[in-house]
Structure 1
Amino acid sequence: MNDPDIRALLYPLLQSGVYVDELPTGTTRADVVHITPAFMHGYEVKGDGDTLQRVGSQLPCYARAYDFVTFVVTEKHLAKLLPQLPEWVGVLVATEQELREHRPACYNATVERAAVAGLLRLEEVKQFLLGYGLHHLPVLRRRDVAKLLQTSHSIPLSALAQFARERLIARMPQRLENRAVRKAERQARPARKTKRKKRTTTRKKSPQRVAKRT
């Protein structure tokens, strides 16, 4: 099974809220993120054609940002994947007909403020921080804001996470509209003509006559 087949089985299971494909998360992109008013659940999809080489870099990014994390894989990957995942990470196994739950995702207690803020636009994060009486925000860059969130204990993670969920959900109609526009533009483009490769014919060189020495 490949990635689109697995996603087609996953989407109907994501009840309430919205889901976002390819959401930038730290240094990677989460394949699917299910966002509701109460939680964010990141999903990483591994089809038959994928490898597990990036799990070691993907998982820490998801663990710092999402309340729940689940890997959705084919049977091919299961045995090699499980030793790489902590017990709180959920695992779904994809078959041709359904997604079978190998183990459920448990609540993630390692979420960090800076990582949650990283899911938002910088201006949105500054808007949130204004409510906590912080000054000089307009001149701060993203890395400065991230450092501030890492070191300040006066900003509750629960409030920031709720703000992030609200903003991401509110943004979804615009995402869908943009997606529809891009799809219409692609369909309106004329089909590209495939260039025929010119055949190159090489003349056979006639064997040179060896001059007889006299």
Structure 2
Amino acid sequence: MTRPRAARGTATLVAAALLAGAGACASTQYTPKPYPYVKMVQRAGTPQLVAGAGEPRAAGPLGGDLSELVADVPLAKDHAEAGEEEAVISLVLAIGGAVVLPVGTTLVLIDSVDNPDGLSPTGALGIGLTAAGAALLVAGLSTALSSQAHYYDAINLYNDAMWERSHVMLRGQGLPELAPEPEPAPPAPGPADPAPAAPTPSDPAMAPPPRDGSTGPY
């Protein structure tokens, strides 16, 4: 029983090696053209920007090099810079909320222990700080989402502008015009009309007698 199992195992390994070798030998011969579009991809959970045939660049929460990549289109650059500014604001708001919220909740807990039957000024301050911290976090999240929307607008505006420019360039190269369609052939002439019959010569003997009583030409 050992030899058949060993033979099957060897056959399996050989088949796997042949399949792997066949797959390794297959490759495409055509390299796609690096169109000048900006794409956003995600690698290992990290958003990255790819422009044309360039290497991926880390996007990050602050936009990375997006404003530089779309600088050729002013409106796209404006959206990219607006997104970067809002990203910074959202980061500041988030940090502020992350600091203020724990302080407020801590003061509320301390006051609940020291004053179980009432609310001291410390507890009131804690409630205010807790509400402020939560508001800062919500504002930071909303601003971060708005900055992401600006990034998408910048990429879409840039790609649309590149598409339009490429088509304008193609039209400016004098593409060959379509050949004019041939004129329709005139209709074939119909059958010709028959020629009129030639008059038959008359027999003088059959001519009617003259009115003057003569016997005719004889």
* Bigger proportion of residues as strand: 1
User: Shorter-chain TM-score: what band?
Assistant: under 0.3
Relative to its length, the structure with more helix (as a share) is: 2
User: Of the two, which has the highest radius of gyration?
Assistant: 2
Q: TM-score, normalised by structure 2?
A: 0.20
The TM-score with structure 1 as length reference comes to: 0.20
